[in-house]
């Protein structure tokens, strides 16, 4: 089945605003710099939009080899994308990882904005974190601070169909895909096994279970009610996964180092 790479995104800081890309490099751990950083509390545990909706208001940019974070007041801080720093133990879900503390300037920015003690950390890639091998055919698939898998694939058609059911437009930011497919029917990603584009070959795996982040207005950082999660639950509840599913997780089978380009043709291959 033919498709296009309609839109491409990276999310350098887990749960902060993402960056839409014209071109993005694929690596074994997903897109370059995607979820390479994470905000943690004083105990080193990850903080996300599930508990702090205003994380959606922190804009991110990567320019001239530096990661820039800006809060709504206009205050900002930056660190080198390859920074080291104090090595600290952090936790994302049940995974315990090694990371580099990004320093006081960014910590003060985040702590002041959210009125609690917070730090920014960068994943230490010398200590790999692997995706759940039950969903990778036993293959060792490295990931950084994603919820569990290197990439997330969704289609424009799926969002449009859900928006029709809900009764209003739904911005893509609520669903945080890395790859948004165009030119395919709603939920075409559900039936796909492989996504190919250029030299890249991606394995689509576990369906993505959804949470309250989908009910967050990314412009205000506030909850908007039960939608679209309530509507999704009415027709997208997966008994085996015990959750509402929308989109597919994915990882690279081939093409590490290749460049994916917005608008490029792609092929979806069914099992």
**Tell me, what DSSP letter sits at residue 212?**
G
- pLDDT tens for residues 69-85? 999 999 999 999 999 99
pLDDT band at 250 (very low <50, low <70, confident <90, very high): very high
- Contact at 8 Å (CB) between 121 and 144? no
Q: Regarding the domain with residue range 2-269, which homologous superfamily does it belong to in the CATH classification?
A: PK beta-barrel domain-like (2.40.33.20)
Nearest to 155 by CA among 47, 243, 63, 248: 248
Give the span between the Cα atoms of 68 and 217, in whole angstroms.
22
First to last CA, the chain: 12
CA 49/CA 251 separation, integer angstroms: 24
Q: What is the DSSP letter of 54?
A: G
C-alpha closest to that of 36 among 94, 96, 99, 108: 99
The pTM of the whole model exceeds 0.85:
yes
pLDDT digits (tens, 9 = 90+) for 161-192: 999 999 999 999 999 999 999 999 999 999 99
Show me where the domains of the chain are located. Answer: 2-269
> How many other C-beta atoms can be found within 10 angstroms of the C-beta atom of residue 43?
9
């Amino acid at each position: 089945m033919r498709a296009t790479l309609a839109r491409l995104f990276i999310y350098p800081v887990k749960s902060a605003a993402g960056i839409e890309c014209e071109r993005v490099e694929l690596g074994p751990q997903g897109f370059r710099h995607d979820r390479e950083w994470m905000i943690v509390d004083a105990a080193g545990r990850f903080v996300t939009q599930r508990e702090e909706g205003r994380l959606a208001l922190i804009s991110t940019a990567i320019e001239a080899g530096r990661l820039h974070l800006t809060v709504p007041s206009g205050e900002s801080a930056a660190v080198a994308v390859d920074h080291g720093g104090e090595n600290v133990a952090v936790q994302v879900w049940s995974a315990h990882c090694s990371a580099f503390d990004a320093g006081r300037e960014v910590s003060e920015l985040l702590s002041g904005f959210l009125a609690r003690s917070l730090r920014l950390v960068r994943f230490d890639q010398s200590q790999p974190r692997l995706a759940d091998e039950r969903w990778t055919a036993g293959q060792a698939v490295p990931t950084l601070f994603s919820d569990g898998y290197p990439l997330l694939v969704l289609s424009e058609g799926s969002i449009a169909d859900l928006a029709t059911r809900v009764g209003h437009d739904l911005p893509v930011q609520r669903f945080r895909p890395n790859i948004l497919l165009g030119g395919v029917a709603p939920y075409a990603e559900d039936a796909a096994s492989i996504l190919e584009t250029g030299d890249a070959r991606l394995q689509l795996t576990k369906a993505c279970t959804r949470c309250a982040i989908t009910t967050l207005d990314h412009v205000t950082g506030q909850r908007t009610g039960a939608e679209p999660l309530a509507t999704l639950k009415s027709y997208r509840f997966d008994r085996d996964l015990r959750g509402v599913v929308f989109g597919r997780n994915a990882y690279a089978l081939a093409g590490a180092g290749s460049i994916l380009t917005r608008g490029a043709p792609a092929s979806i291959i069914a099992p």
